[in-house]
Chain A
Amino acid sequence: MMNHLPVLQVIIPLLAAPLCVIVRNGQIAGVIAVASSWVSLWMAWKIFQLVQVAGTISYNLGGWLAPVGIEYRIDTLAAFVLILVTLVGAVVTPYAITSVKKEIDESKESLFYAAFLLCLSGLLGIVVTGDIFNVFVFLEISSLSAYALIALGKDRRALIASYQYLIMGSVGATFIVIGIGMLYVMTGSLNMADLAILLPELPSNRIIPVAFAFLTIGVCLKLALFPLHVWLPNAYAYAPSAVTAFIASTATKVAIYMLLRICFTIFGPDFSFVKMQLGAILLPLSVIAIFSMSLVAIFQTNVKRMLAYSSLAQIGYIVLGISLFTNTGLTAGILHLFNHAVIKGSLFMALGCVMYRLNSVDLESMRGLGKKMPLTMGAFLVGGFSLIGVPFTAGFISKWYLIQGALEKGLWPVALLVLMTSLMAVVYIWRVVESVYFSEFGGSDADEITEAPLGLLLPTWALAILCLYFGINGTFTVLAASSAAANLMGVGS
């Protein structure tokens, strides 16, 4: 059984999804979703431990040896991202049980869980697989189910947001499949490790750089790097609360994982960063993303939308770390990938609690909520501080490494920019804090607004506590990220 963990990681949520459709009952489907996501988390943890001891795990699907068969390949980075995705999944599914009842029609509940599990298994599949075409397949599974999940939002604008995401996402996926096709034409292989050996041996040609361009642009669309980010704010703002929390914490992060795989594992750091100078392209884009998106976030009145723009800025931080192309920079990127997912998860879940009671997350309607929903807003405050990067929160540690990375390369203006934009985060978080804690309650139905139910609060606080935990004891995340970074930098050099 333990030998088959890599494939079970994907198979279990994948099989649980049709089960949800078959039972046609929201409650039972919810239980199935919770159970399978928890099992997934447990398996991810086992895999992580295994990788720590035994190094990279290779699993041949159906016993067919690579490069002919499909290989599942899990190294430190993959195991770390697996933990992240399954962790968020395990926290969001119990949250969804309460949240979805309020936000989605009863008839669609079981379908919601099915789509949710498909999305989860797609994301997990991208992470575990060592086959580039398999990546595309899982990407489509996760993306298509994500479009459906977003479209379930109560607001009718969710449909347009989902459609926008569908178009942009499909363009991205097409780019990726074109890139994969070119690689296959040139090498005759789809296995990543195999490609890594075959590609450098090819005589110099134009097709490989073009394939590289198609792949990176396609992935950057998926991870919403400026200026390919337009689909994201609406999708996050109008999706159901649980969906926003899940997608924001995992989908873009897994896309960044894909970027790392393509750049470091398939093409190799020398090709990507020395020959193709990817760093010189990603650095300015990420800097613009960080600055402009933080600025836009300051002027949002819908808090969910504000956090969506903040996510775009945070993605900028992660890509900035990667673009530095040093051990420290890469560590910072991977670290922030993990920390930001936990932070944004807790923030969006806290907003989901607000949505549950108020049916709105406008800044104006949240006035004085600090006294009505102290626990919810407490979790929001923890997440907010973490987003800013206050000491003893997860955000501080990733920013610390990021600035170290920038300084190591002598890019002190970039280091200053990171600090300046942290101050911009102070501004947009403080707007919420002032409205929530230092204003009088404005609504007419003052007595009806009470604390969110436990079913929502517990998962929210679970992530909020993790924000604090990883800020106070960052040893686990830092070591995992730095060993993953060293692993990536070592490959191909």
Chain B
Amino acid sequence: MTYPQILCLIVAIPFMGAGLILLAGKYHNLRDTLSLLVAMVLCGTVYQLIEPLRQGNFTQVTLLEVTPSLSLGLSVEPLGLLFALVASFLWIVTGLYAIGYMRGHHEKNQTRFFACFAIAIGGAMGVSFSSNLFTLFAFYELLTLCTFPLVTHHGTDEAKKAGRIYLGILLATSVGLQLFAIIWTWNLAGTLDFRPNGILAGTASNRVLSILIVLFVFGVGKAAVMPFHRWLPAAMVAPTPVSALLHAVAVVKVGVFTILKVAIYIFGLDTLAQLGSTPWLRWIVAATIILGSLVAFTKDNLKARLAYSTISQLSYIVLAALLANEFAIIGGGMHIAMHAFGKITLFFAAGSVLVASHKTNISDMKGLGRRMPLTFAAFFVGSLSIIGVPPAGGAWSKWFLGLGTIEAGEQGLLAVLMVSSLLSLVYLLEVPIRAFFSSPEPDQEGTGIQEAPWPCLLAMGISGGMTVGLFLFPDFLYEMMTMVFAA
């Protein structure tokens, strides 16, 4: 098979998977096996693209011309490949976890759930391999729409209300600001292709481009920069696998990924660094980092706390894009992977607690570590990665981000990163400390080990192990990110 064909196949596999899942809907075991198999095939196919990319083969393919000026096209570049690898690998892990969770928790409409899940991954693949902003936008919107049934999965009034917030904010920002910015970009540059060094340099005054970057940063609502962050906590009504893969990895990372792509390939780092609004935006994003952490403190519901932690962490990557230098971009790209593995572990643990002991609030988890040691150990490892200390992968990305702030001459932002790390140390480690060191409430039934179903434990083990593994062997991520600048 030629590389363009492989590229098309990657985007097609999840959609075909969704079809298969719908067909096999009545046979639960077959359906779940299929879902896992499709994930594995996808990850394997994405893996095929690494070697040609190393040899400098930036495969590109135009699928169709919508109008003489707009086309749907795919291409491989290092950042997108990195993201696609992370998302497709974690789909396997989440697929495994979801089987344990959805059955353990007796969820309804599982076929619709798995099918929409597959389509969402297809959307993420499309975004990561899109060769122009129009294609990216199309898949971005697809992702918004196909995750709506997942967010409102329970069908309760609460879920519907959350679904409205979810759809409202994501559509309003993407249509009102992002699409506007995209059309404006086309108007200025006459193209929407992602090109090294960008397409906007010298097309308009500093003032116009300054406005444009603001439109992009806020218009990509999936990056959850405040004040457009409310959809993410709202989405937590969804079943935990959705929160884990989509709202810690696929959907939110599509947001920050879009901003990175726009920074590197639409504006070009040199242009971006010179814009009048960039220093302001950096501090607005820094405010999200701190505020997100502070709000996380106030949340007793574990998933809500993790959601605000995600909001804070996403802004690290947005900040990386806005710092607009090589170190920061490397840090930002690595953080996509590091945060993904760390946060998904945390969500897996939160879901396991829910399945095994039906607890959602941190204050109720006193002494629970004695009954669920593995779950809380995984939570501990995930926390380390989010905080950014060895031996977890998050340490590397924060290191490069820190270097990036100094390179940009923004020592104040370095302080922000450190403060945020300290805050996350407190609000995340509170959970395992309570679980392991507080004595359990007297009315709790049973004292023996009561862990989550084994697929959940296995999934947690893999993602937690990878978190540590990425600390020991970060060279692949580093290599990918340096290739961004080699081109």
Query: A interface vs B, CB < 8 Å?
Result: 389-392, 397, 400, 403-404, 407-408, 412, 415-416, 419-420, 422-423, 426, 430, 434, 438, 471-475, 478-479
| B residues in contact with A415, CB < 8 Å | 180, 183-184
A416 touches B68 (CB 8 A): no
Please tell me if the beta carbons of B64 and A472 are within 8 angstroms of each other in the complex: yes
| Bound Cα distance from A478 to B141, whole angstroms | 23
Instruction: Determine whether B368 belongs to the interface, using a CB cutoff of 8 Å to chain A.
Output: no
- Kindly state whether residue B70 has any CB partner on chain A within 8 Å: yes
| Chain B residues at the A interface, C-beta cutoff of 8 Å | 64-68, 70, 134, 137-138, 141, 152, 155, 160, 167, 171-172, 175-176, 179-180, 183-184, 186-187
Which residue from A419, A430, A474 sits with its C-beta under 8 Å from B179? Answer: A419
Query: With A391-B134, A392-B138 known to touch, is A475 a contact of B175 (CB < 8 Å)?
Result: no
Q: What residues on A are CB-neighbors of B155 within 8 Å?
A: 438
**A415 CA to B68 CA, complexed, in Å:** 21
Q: A420 to B67, Cβ gap below 8 A?
A: no
Chain B residues within an 8 Å CB radius of A390? 141
The 8 tightest CB contacts between A and B, nearest first, are A391-B138, A474-B67, A407-B187, A478-B67, A403-B183, A419-B176, A419-B180, A474-B66
Q: A423-B171, A430-B167 are in contact. Are A438 and B160 (CB under 8 A)?
A: yes
A contact residues around B137 at 8 Å (CB): 391
* Extra pairs beyond A400-B70, A422-B175 (13, CB < 8 Å): A389-B175, A390-B141, A391-B134, A392-B66, A400-B67, A404-B186, A423-B171, A426-B171, A430-B167, A438-B152, A438-B160, A472-B66, A479-B68
For the complex formed, measure the closest distance between the CB of A6 and the CB atoms of chain B, giving whole angstroms: 30
Do the beta carbons of B141 and A391 come within 8 Å of each other?
yes
The residue on A at minimum CB distance from B184 is: A407
Question: Assuming the A-B contacts A391-B138, A392-B138, A438-B160, are A416 and B176 also in contact, with contact meaning beta carbons closer than 8 angstroms in the complex?
Answer: yes
Closest to A478 in B: B67
CB pair A419–B167 under 8 Å, yes or no, is no
Q: Which of A389, A391, A423, A471 has the most CB of B within 10 A?
A: A391
Which A residue sits closest to B70, measured CB to CB?
A400
Query: Complex Cα distance A403/B185, Å?
Result: 12
A423 and B137 alpha carbons, distance in the complex (Å): 16
- How far does the alpha carbon of A14 sit from the alpha carbon of B381 in the complex, in Å? 80
Our count of residue pairs bridging A and B at CB distance below 8 angstroms stands at 61
Residues of A within 8 Å of B184, CB to CB, are 407, 412, 415
Complex-state Cα separation, A400 to B70, whole angstroms: 10
State how many angstroms separate the Cβ of B164 from the closest Cβ of chain A.
Answer: 8
* B66 / chain A contacts, CB cutoff of 8 Å: 392, 397, 471-474
25 residue pairs from A and B, CB less than 8 Å apart: A389-B175, A391-B138, A397-B67, A397-B70, A400-B67, A400-B70, A403-B180, A404-B183, A404-B186, A407-B183, A415-B180, A416-B176, A416-B180, A419-B176, A423-B172, A423-B175, A426-B171, A426-B175, A430-B167, A438-B155, A438-B160, A473-B66, A474-B66, A474-B67, A479-B68
**What is the CA–CA distance of A342 and B345 in the complex, to the nearest angstrom?**
49
Question: Distance (Å) between the CB of A84 and the closest chain B CB?
Answer: 18
- What CA separation (Å) do A434 and B167 show in the bound complex? 12
Chain B residues positioned under 8 Å from A389 (CB to CB) = 175
Complex Cα–Cα for A400 and B68 (A): 13
Q: What separation, in Å, do the CA atoms of A423 and B168 have in the docked complex?
A: 9
Q: Is the CB of A475 within 8 A of B141?
A: no
Report the separation of the CA atoms of residues A389 and B171 in the bound assembly, to the nearest whole angstrom.
12
Q: Which residues of B contact A404 (CB under 8 A)?
A: 183, 186-187
Nearest CB of chain B from residue A256's CB, rounded to whole Å? 22
Cα–Cα, bound, A445→B233 (Å): 40
Q: Cβ of B186: which chain A residues have Cβ within 8 Å of it?
A: 404
Is B187 touching A408 in the complex (CB atoms < 8 A)? yes
B135 to chain A, nearest CB (A): 9
Contact check, A400 vs B171: say whether CB atoms are below 8 A apart: no
Contact B68 A475 (CB under 8 A): yes
B residues near A479, Cβ cutoff 8 Å: 68
Cα–Cα, bound, A410→B436 (Å): 63
CB-defined contacts of A400 to chain B, threshold 8 Å: 67, 70, 183
Bound CA–CA A444/B183 (angstroms): 49
What's the minimum C-beta distance from A362 to chain B, rounded to whole angstroms? 20
Separation of A473 and B172 alpha carbons in the complex (Å): 26
Q: How far in angstroms is the closest Cβ of chain B from A261? A: 26
Minimum CB–CB distance from B318 to chain A (whole Å) comes to 22
State the CA gap A391–B183 with chains docked (Å): 13
Complex-state Cα separation, A35 to B64, whole angstroms: 36
Find chain B residues with CB under 8 A from A475 CB.
Answer: 65, 67-68
In the bound complex, CA of A438 to CA of B70 (Å): 34
- Tell me the bound Cα distance from A9 to B171 in angstroms: 45
CA A404 – CA B69 in complex, angstroms?
12
Report the separation of the CA atoms of residues A423 and B173 in the bound assembly, to the nearest whole angstrom: 10
Bound CA span A408–B167, Å:
31
Closest to B65 in A: A475
Which chain B residue lies CB-closest to A427? B168
A331 to B103: give the CA distance in the assembly, Å: 55
| Assembled-state Cα–Cα distance A472/B70 (Å) | 10
Max chain B C-beta neighbours (<10 A), residue from A415, A419, A478: A419
Contacts of A472 in B (CB 8 A): 64, 66
* Residues of the B chain whose Cβ atoms lie less than 8 Å from the Cβ of A407: 183-184, 187
How close is B57's CB to chain A, nearest CB, in angstroms? 29
Smallest beta-carbon distance A3→chain B, Å: 34
> Nearest Cβ in chain B — how far from A482, in angstroms?
9
CA of A426 to CA of B144, assembled, Å: 13
Say yes or no: B187 contacts A419, CB within 8 Å: no
What is the bound-complex CA distance between A400 and B152, given in angstroms? 31
Which residues in B have their C-beta under 8 angstroms from that of A419? Answer: 175-176, 179-180
Q: How far is the CA of A471 from the CA of B186 in the complex (A)?
A: 18
Distance between Cα atoms of A44 and B42 in the complex (Å): 48
Report the bound CA distance from A392 to B126 in whole Å.
Answer: 14
**B68 close to A478 (CB less than 8 A):** yes
What B residues does A430 contact at CB under 8 A? 167
Q: Which residues of B sit under 8 angstroms from A412, Cβ to Cβ?
A: 184
Kindly provide the distance from the CB of B218 to the nearest chain A CB, expressed in whole angstroms.
13
- Distance of A163 from chain B, by nearest CB (Å): 40
* B154 nearest CB across to chain A (Å): 11
Q: Which residues of B contact A397 (CB under 8 A)?
A: 66-67, 70
Which residues of the partner chain A approach B160 to less than 8 Å between Cβ atoms? 434, 438
**Complex CA–CA separation, A472 to B67 (angstroms):** 8
Q: Which residues of A contact B70 (CB under 8 A)?
A: 397, 400, 474
**Residues of B close to A471: CB separation below 8 A:** 66
A441 to chain B, nearest CB (A): 14
For the complex, what is the distance from the CA of A478 to the CA of B70, rounded to whole Å? 11
Chain B nearest CB: distance from A427 CB in Å?
A: 9
Distance A403 CA – B70 CA, assembled complex (angstroms): 14
A474 / chain B contacts, CB cutoff of 8 Å: 66-67, 70
